Homo-oligomer: A and B are copies of this chain.
């Protein structure tokens, strides 16, 4: 059985959970606590799995360890083609990848836990400055995505769920956690609502993971 090394609140792991659920793949969850013990992802045992010290890692039945959420999703789409997470047409695939990367490269890494920790611990910023930083990159990225979303919906790239939706939904989950105003992004909110109706997305929600912690 596949093993997914993740963390309930990691949005990169969240993307992969949705993909596994959509593909109907049973998997075992292995929790890697990103905060406890100074970050379990930094421990030697995990570093042997992924020198990048980041979740998720998907371990296949033969022990091969796949890293980077988008690479994992593309792999799953190649070996388990139904339902397709990338369309067949090259131009349509490029569009799905571009929207996925616009979040995965240009929003998420800037607002990742390790970066927020650096802003506080090394650069000495307070929570207000960190929150402004978070919202700045989120706002930049979501404004562009809102303009690029398929106006007909219901999903980000049209009438089929694609990899881009798997990246958007966890990002919006995070945005709400940081109390960002999603009012300016009605199309993105509609995509989020359409996805929320699908059991694969529901089961992947952070609150529904075995390592989820109760709200403080």
Contact = CB atoms under 8 A, between A and B. Distances in A.
A68 interface: yes
> So how many copies of this chain end up in the complex?
2
Contacts of A106: 52, 54, 109
Interface string A85-120: 000001101110110011011101110000100100
Interface residues of A, number: 46
Interface stretch (A143-151, A186-194, A195-203, A207-215): A143-151
Contacts of A141: 52
Contacts of A75: 90-91, 93-94, 97
A57 to B, nearest CB: 10
Nearest to A94: B75
A123 B126 CA distance: 11
